[in-house]
Structure 1
Amino acid sequence: MSNTPPPEVFATEPAEAFVEEGHGGAPVHSEPELFGLAPFQWVSIAMLLLLLIAFLGAKVHRIIGRGLDDRIAAIRSQLDEAKALRHEAETLRDEYKRRIAAAEKDAETTLANARTEADKIRAQAETDSAAMIERRKRMAEDTIAAAEREAVQDVRNRAAMAATAASRKLIAEKHDAQADKVLADQMIASL
């Protein structure tokens, strides 16, 4: 053991006990009182209050417990509802993601089809334009050829008319009525 001195205890003055002189000359120790009640009475009152609190507190505890249970059930139902709403929202989100992806795919397909169709239409238009140009060229050539034929025919007709007129004039100058009669008789005989 170590040689440490014991702790110093401060001395206090001893409490004075109130002592009354009893009937037989012996001193009587007087108990402390509060509001005229002795300590054992205060203990009895405290125990009574404790029992009342325990008895009434059990009912309060049940009421509080029931209220807490109801609150817990309400919170659980709200959590379940929130979970269901979250699941529904996730389902809707996934569905809309699928719809958006499908719409984008449809848009890409539609765009590709439109480009293909536009290429076909352009190629067809080029083909049709070339065919129409060729037809118009042929029509112009045919019109020019017809005009040439008409002009040649007109020139021939004019030449024939001029030749006829010239031959008439020549015949009229060189033939007389007698020569015409002989010529007409020869023609009739040959028939």
Structure 2
Amino acid sequence: MRLTFSALIAGLVASPAFAAGDVFFSLSNTDFIVLLAFILFVGVLMYFKVPKMIGSMLDNRAVGIKSELDEARALREEAQTLLASYERKQQEVKEQADRIVTSAKAEATEAADQARADLEKSIARRLTAAEEQIDSAQAAAVKEVRDQAIVVAIAAAKDVIAKKMTAAEGNALIDSAIAEVDAKLH
């Protein structure tokens, strides 16, 4: 306060009105009226302690800004922690996805190998069954050909025997066949 008042007095002494030689302390002098109004304004400000209030408001604002900065730092650190956590989780999920893909590929390869082996077994069984059917059909055809050959041979022998044999020879042949069958059966 003393510094402001002394600065005001120094300003009065160095006024251009003093230099001109006019009466400065007159109500008709506008410089004097302005000076009085300024001194009154500064006095009112000092009386109501406006500079102190402004100082405390600025201090409060500084404290508020400091607390906001501290809170912002804390939030930033928390955000960085969360970001690091999410990046770790993302890396873990990526690794797990890679493991799942690798496992799925291995399972698919294994399933394909198993399907190939099953197909080979099925083809082998079908080939075996087809060969057995062919062998059976061949045996049936051979048997049918033999049976037909026997029938033809019997018919041919019957014709030959019937033409060359007499009734007495036929009866003797029948008796010998019966005896031969009887000997083989007992």
By relative contact order (CA 8 Å, sep 6+), the higher-ranking structure is: 2
Shift in Å, 1:152: 0.7
* Within-5 A mapping of 1:147-162: 147-162=137-152
Aligned to 1:105: 95
Q: Give the gaps of 5 or more residues in structure 1.
A: 1-17, 19-30
Letter in 1 for 2:62: I
Shift in Å, 1:116: 2.0
CA distance in 1, matches of 2:66, 2:166: 142
Shift in Å, 1:175: 4.7
Q: Of Structure 1 and Structure 2, which has the larger fraction of its residues in helix?
A: 2
Percent sequence identity is 34
CA distance in 2, matches of 1:130, 1:185: 62
CA separation of 1:176 and 1:72: change in aligned 2, threshold 3 A: farther
Shift in Å, 1:149: 0.7
Shift in Å, 1:126: 3.1
Aligned to 2:154: 164
CA distance in 1, matches of 2:55, 2:83: 41
Q: Give the gaps of 5 or more residues in structure 2.
A: 1-20
Letter in 1 for 2:26: F
Structure with the greater alpha carbon radius of gyration: 1
- 2:136 aligned with 1:146, yes or no? yes
- Equivalent residue for 1:35, pick from 13, 16, 26: 26
CA distance in 2, matches of 1:33, 1:183: 185
Shift in Å, 1:105: 1.1
- 2:114 aligned with 1:124, yes or no? yes
Q: TM-score, normalised by structure 2?
A: 0.61
Aligned to 1:24: none
CA RMSD in angstroms comes to: 3.5
